[in-house]
Amino acid sequence: MTRLLCVLIFVLIPFAGLCFSQNIRATTEDGRVVTLKKDGTWQFLKKSSSSVPNTRGAYQKSDSATAVYKAKNDKIAIWYDPSKWHQKKSDNSSKPLFEHKDGDVDVMFLAERFAMDIDALKEMAITNAQAAAPDTKVTYEEKRLVNGKNILCMKMEGTIQTIHFIYYGYYYSGKEGTVQLLAYTSNNLFPEYESDLTEFLNGLVIN
């Protein structure tokens, strides 16, 4: 299991820089979306006819989430259950890792100060994952209201070095910045930990 987590951490590192070597999207002051190309040119983006479904109800942090990690001048907090999770030691304090007590599941937190179009964030997340695992595909997505903020929930599955993995994450972008809270483990273990992972993700509080 350690091998899997090390591989997935390596794949996730590019998410922190949001892959600026590739095309990115931005929103103009009048609300139109443009694609900024790496060659310095740009073009208006046609809106997709597809839509991400909204979930019913709202998600709140658990009462058992009594430990907290704060970032970005306390504008963003992650509340978690210390009996299930602990923060791992890391050489990079800007990309904290959290590990489940069983050692089979990790969660990475990534945040940037700038805001961007949420569709662009989604596209970059998919593109970065596919760069390492070409067969990566989105298997589930919906918009969730989490602690008062609209969040994109997305699951991606793929294969790296014969290992079948799943990313389960929350994605947000707004005036507070861009946030990605990403859990990852093997496909066969995901059903066992899905409840704990959802509880952890729901500890994301953006002020």
Amino acid 165: pLDDT: 93
pLDDT mean over 160-187: 92
Instruction: Please tell me which of 16-25, 34-43, 137-146 the model is most confident about, judged by mean pLDDT.
Output: 137-146
pLDDT mean over 32-61: 64
DSSP helix/strand/coil, 109: strand
Name the residue with higher pLDDT: 72 or 122.
122
Residue 132 banded pLDDT, cuts 50, 70, 90? confident
Question: pLDDT at residue 6 above 70?
Answer: no
Residue corresponding to tokens 């760069």: 131
Domain extent listing, the chain: 2-206
Question: pLDDT at residue 70 above 70?
Answer: yes
Q: CA 32, 37, 43, 48 torsion: positive or negative?
A: negative
Give the pLDDT confidence of 192-206 residue by residue, as tens digits.
999 999 999 999 999
The mean pLDDT value of the chain amounts to 82
Superfamily of domain 2-206: Mog1/PsbP, alpha/beta/alpha sandwich (3.40.1000.10)
The identity of residue 116, as a single letter, is M
- Closest to 168 in 3D by CA, of 200, 128, 134, 206: 200
Name the residue with higher pLDDT: 127 or 145.
145
